[in-house]
Structure 1
Amino acid sequence: MIVDKNYCMSSFLSFRCIDDENKAFEEDLKPRRFHPPTDRYPVRTSEDIDKFIRKVLQDKLDENTGIMLSGGIDSAILASYMPPGTKAYTLKCMAEGALEETERAKIIADKCNLDHRIVEVHWEDYLQLVPKLMKHKGAPLHSIEPQIYKAALQAKNDGITRLVFGESADSIFGGLNGLMSKDWLFDEFVDRYTFVNPEKVLRNPVSVQEPFERYRVGSGIDFYKFVSEFFYTESVASYTNALSLANVEFIAPFVQMYMDVPLDLTRVRNGDSKYLVRELYKKIYPDYVMAPKIPMPRAVTQWLANWDGPKRSEFLPNSIDGFKGDQKWLVYCLEWFLNLLDDGEIA
Structure 2
Amino acid sequence: MSHLTHQTASSSQEMTSGVPLRNESLYLMYRRFFPIHRRMVSLVTTPEEMQDHCSDKIASVEGRVGIMLSGGMDSAMLAHFLPKGSIAYTLEYGEDETALSEFDQAARFVPLGVEHKKIRITRASFFDMARELTLLKREPTVPHDPAIGLAARQALADGITHMVTGVGADGSFGGFGHFYKDVSYAAFRSNIIKQFVAPWDVLKNPVPVDWVIGHYTVNDKVDVQTYLGDVGTEGTAVFDTLQACGLVPVNPYSSMRFGAALDIAGRGGKYPLKDMFALIYPDRKPNKKMALPVPYGPWMRDYIPTRPEFRTDRMDRFGGKNRYQIYALELYMDMRAQFGWSQPTGDRLFMQ
Asked if Structure 1 and Structure 2 have the same fold, meaning a TM-score greater than 0.5 normalized by the shorter chain, the answer is yes
How far did residue 5 of structure 1 move? 5.6
> Gaps (5+ residues) in structure 1?
22-32
Report the equivalent of 1:239.
Answer: 238
Match of 1:300 among 296, 301, 323: 296
How far did residue 112 of structure 1 move? 4.3
- Structure 1 residue identity aligned to 2:270: K
| Equivalent residues in 2 for 1:197-276, closer than 5 Å | 197-231=198-232, 235-268=234-267, 272-276=268-272
Question: Normalized against structure 1, the TM-score is what?
Answer: 0.86
Structure 2 residue 42 is matched with structure 1 residue 41: yes
| Equivalent residues in 2 for 1:275-290, closer than 5 Å | 275-290=271-286
- Structure 2 residue identity aligned to 1:163: M
Give CA-to-partner distance per residue, 1:214-249, whole Å, 9 cap, x none.
011222322222122211xx5351112211111100
Give CA-to-partner distance per residue, 1:24-77, whole Å, 9 cap, x none.
xxxxxxxxx6x3442x22201001011112221223276x11111111111111
Give CA-to-partner distance per residue, 1:184-225, whole Å, 9 cap, x none.
321221121131111111111111111101011222322222
- Structure 1 residue identity aligned to 2:243: S
Q: Contact 1:176–1:273 (CA<8 Å) still a contact in 2?
A: yes
Question: Following the alignment from structure 1 to structure 2, what is the Cα–Cα distance between the partners of residues 125 and 254?
Answer: 29
Report the equivalent of 1:7.
Answer: 22
Report the equivalent of 2:53.
Answer: 52
How far did residue 161 of structure 1 move? 0.5
Match of 2:333 among 328, 334, 338: 338
> Gaps (5+ residues) in structure 2?
1-13, 343-352
Report the equivalent of 2:346.
Answer: none
Question: Following the alignment from structure 1 to structure 2, what is the Cα–Cα distance between the partners of residues 226 and 163?
Answer: 26
Question: Normalized against structure 2, the TM-score is what?
Answer: 0.85
Structure 2 residue 31 is matched with structure 1 residue 16: yes
SS of the equivalent of 2:331 reads helix
Question: Following the alignment from structure 2 to structure 1, what is the Cα–Cα distance between the partners of residues 281 and 339?
Answer: 52
Question: Following the alignment from structure 1 to structure 2, what is the Cα–Cα distance between the partners of residues 303 and 331?
Answer: 13
Higher RCO, 1 vs 2 (CA within 8 Å, ≥6 residues apart): 2
Give CA-to-partner distance per residue, 1:284-332, whole Å, 9 cap, x none.
223322223333332222211233x212211123321131111111111
Question: Following the alignment from structure 1 to structure 2, what is the Cα–Cα distance between the partners of residues 16 and 235?
Answer: 5
Question: Following the alignment from structure 1 to structure 2, what is the Cα–Cα distance between the partners of residues 296 and 5?
Answer: 33
SS of the equivalent of 2:90 reads strand
Report the equivalent of 1:312.
Answer: 307
Distance 1:5 1:97, change over 3 A: farther
Report the equivalent of 1:30.
Answer: none
The count of corresponding residues between Structure 1 and Structure 2 is: 322
How far did residue 113 of structure 1 move? 4.5
Percent sequence identity over aligned pairs: 28
How far did residue 276 of structure 1 move? 1.8
